[in-house]
Amino acid sequence: MSTDATATTTDRLDRLAAAARDAGIDVSLIAPGPDLAYLVGHSVASHERLTLLAVPSGSPGDAVMVLPALERGGWEGSTAEAAGIRFITWLDGQDPYAMLLDALDAGGALGSAAVDDHLPYLHAFRLQQTRPALRLQPAGELIAELRMRKQPAEIDELAAVGAAIDRVHLRIGEWLRAGRTENEVAADIAEALVEEGHRSADFVIVASGPNGASPHHEASDRVIEAGDPVVVDIGGPNPAGYNSDSTRTYLVAGGEPDPEFAKVHELVRTAQRAAVAAVRPGATAESIDRAAREVLEQAGYGEYFITRTGHGIGLEVHEHPYIVAGNTRPLEPGMAFSIEPGVYLPGRFGVRIEDIVVVGDEGAVLMNNSPVELLTI
Ligand code: ZN
Ligand code: ZN
Ligand code: ZN
C-alpha cells in the first residue's frame, strides 16, 4: 500500500475528527459506501452483518473498525491497516454493537455519535438499543464538508473519467440511428463506457422523441425515428470510483424534426454556457442556477426547465453542492458539480446539455469537452 494513500487516509480521518469535535460530537460512525471509500480508499458491500468504522473525535489515531470475521481477509494489506486502524472482528452469535461501544468507551461516557447517512436504520436502531443514552445524529453534513472540496488527486480522477465519457459521446454515430430501439442503442453505449475506461456503466439514458420530455426516462423499446431529437445522458465510475455524467442531445438525420427543436437546442446551449461562465469562487450555488434559468425564462421557456441546474459529483453521482435556488453557499475552489439545464416539452421532445465543472481560481474548469453544438447523426 502506497505511503501516499496512507497519508491521505490519516489526513482525512484527522479532518473528520476535527470537524466532529467542532460540532460537539464524540465519535463518527462510518458505514460501508462512499464515505468509507473516501476515508480509507476501500469499501465493501453492506449486509445485515455490521461493518462500521468508528473515528473518535478526540483521538482519530484510535479509530477502530468492527467487521464480521469472515470479511477480515478483504482488508488484508489495505490502507486502513497501514493507517493503523484497529480491526475488531466478530462471529455470528456475538453482539457487534456492544463490542464496538465497549471498545470505544467501556465506562459509558460516550455522549454523542454522528452516524453515516448510508448506515441502514436497523444498525442505528441496535446501537441505540445497546446504549440508550447515546445521542445519535446524522453525519452527512460533516462528511459533505470534507468531500465537497476536491483535492488535486480527485480532480485528476474527475478529469480522466470526464475524458472517458467524452470519448463515448464522440462515438455516438456508431450506434444511434433510425430503426433501432432505445434499448439497443443503450446496450451498445454501456459496452463502450467500459471499453473507454469506466469500471461499469452506472446509467445510460437514451430518450428519443417525446420520451426526451421526461428527465427520468431511461431507455425503452421505442424505435428511434428519422428526425427524432435524442437525449443521451450517460456515466459511471472509473476504477478509482470517481463518476462521469455527461449529456448531449442529438438529432437523427432525415425525417421532419419538430420545427422548434433547433431553436430550443440553441437556447439550452446558451443557457448552459451562461451558467458555466458564471462559475467563480465566491459566487453562490444558486447564482449558477439563476444564470441558466434567466436565459430560458427570457426566451419564454422558463416553465419547461423543470429541474435544478446541477448536482455535486465525485464518489457519488449526486452529492453536495446542489446547484439549486435557495442554496446560498458560496462556491470554493475544488468544488465539482454538473451544469445541466434542459427544456422539456411534454409530448414532443426534450433537450438537455450537461457538463461537469470544477471551480478553479479563475472560474470553471470543464471536465467534459465534447462539442455542445447540435450534432445531426
Ligand atoms: Zn446526467
Ligand atoms: Zn447529472
Ligand atoms: Zn441526475
Q: Give the pLDDT confidence of 279-334 residue by residue, as tens digits.
A: 999 999 999 999 999 999 999 999 999 999 999 999 999 999 999 999 999 999 99
pLDDT of residue 283: 98
Question: Measured between alpha carbons, how far is 32 from 335 in angstroms, rounded to an integer?
Answer: 24
Beta strands in 79-202 (DSSP E): 86-90, 112-115, 135-138
- Quick one: DSSP state of residue 24? T
pLDDT of residue 107: 66
Cα(249) to centroid(ligand 1), Å: 12
Cα(336) to centroid(ligand 1), Å: 14
Q: Is 188 left (phi over 0), alpha (psi -120 to 50) or beta?
A: alpha
pLDDT of residue 106: 64
Q: How far does Cα 286 stand from its chain's mean position? A: 19
Cα(353) to centroid(ligand 1), Å: 9
Beta strands 246-251 and 375-376: pairing type?
parallel
Q: Which residues surround ligand 1, an ion (CB under 5 A)?
A: 233, 245, 247, 354
User: Which residue intervals of 1-120 are DSSP H helices?
Assistant: 3-22, 34-40, 79-82, 96-104
Cα(57) to centroid(ligand 3), Å: 34
C-alpha cell read off for 226? 428519422
Mean pLDDT of the chain: 96
Cα(51) to centroid(ligand 2), Å: 30
Do residues 279 and 288 touch, judged by C-beta distance below 8 A?
A: yes
Task: Name residue, grid cell 488527486.
Answer: 153
Percent of the chain at pLDDT exceeding 70: 99
Q: Is 84 left (phi over 0), alpha (psi -120 to 50) or beta?
A: left
pLDDT of residue 225: 97
Domains of the chain plus CATH, in order, are 3-147 (3.40.350.10), 152-366 (3.90.230.10)
pLDDT single digits (tens) 33-73? 999 999 999 888 877 899 999 999 999 999 999 999 999 99
pLDDT single digits (tens) 179-236? 999 999 999 999 999 999 999 999 999 999 999 999 989 999 999 999 999 999 999 9
The answer to whether residue 131 scores a pLDDT higher than 80 is: yes
The answer to whether residue 123 scores a pLDDT higher than 60 is: yes
Do residues 327 and 320 touch, judged by C-beta distance below 8 A?
A: no
Q: Return all residues near 200 (Cβ < 8 A) that are at least 6 apart.
A: 193, 194, 236, 237
The answer to whether residue 31 scores a pLDDT higher than 60 is: yes
pLDDT single digits (tens) 247-272? 999 999 999 999 999 999 999 999 99
User: Among candidates 87, 139, 95, which has minimal Cα distance to 113?
Assistant: 139
Q: Which helix (H) or strand (E) holds 265?
A: helix 261-278
Cα(375) to centroid(ligand 2), Å: 20
pLDDT of residue 166: 98
Do residues 92 and 64 touch, judged by C-beta distance below 8 A?
A: no
Cα(375) to centroid(ligand 3), Å: 23
Beta strands 355-359 and 364-366: pairing type?
antiparallel
CA dist list (Å): 324 to 247, 312, 339, 354 = 19, 11, 11, 15
Cα(177) to centroid(ligand 1), Å: 21
Percent of the chain at pLDDT exceeding 90: 95
The answer to whether residue 367 scores a pLDDT higher than 80 is: yes
Element counts in the chain: helices (H) and strands (E): 10, 17
Cα(211) to centroid(ligand 1), Å: 15
Nearest-ligand number for the alpha carbon of 246: 1
Nearest-ligand number for the alpha carbon of 357: 2
pLDDT of residue 120: 94
Cα(354) to centroid(ligand 1), Å: 6
Mean pLDDT over 158-166 rounds to 98
Nearest-ligand number for the alpha carbon of 353: 1
The answer to whether residue 1 scores a pLDDT higher than 80 is: no
Cα(338) to centroid(ligand 3), Å: 9
- Quick one: DSSP state of residue 331? P
Cα(355) to centroid(ligand 2), Å: 8
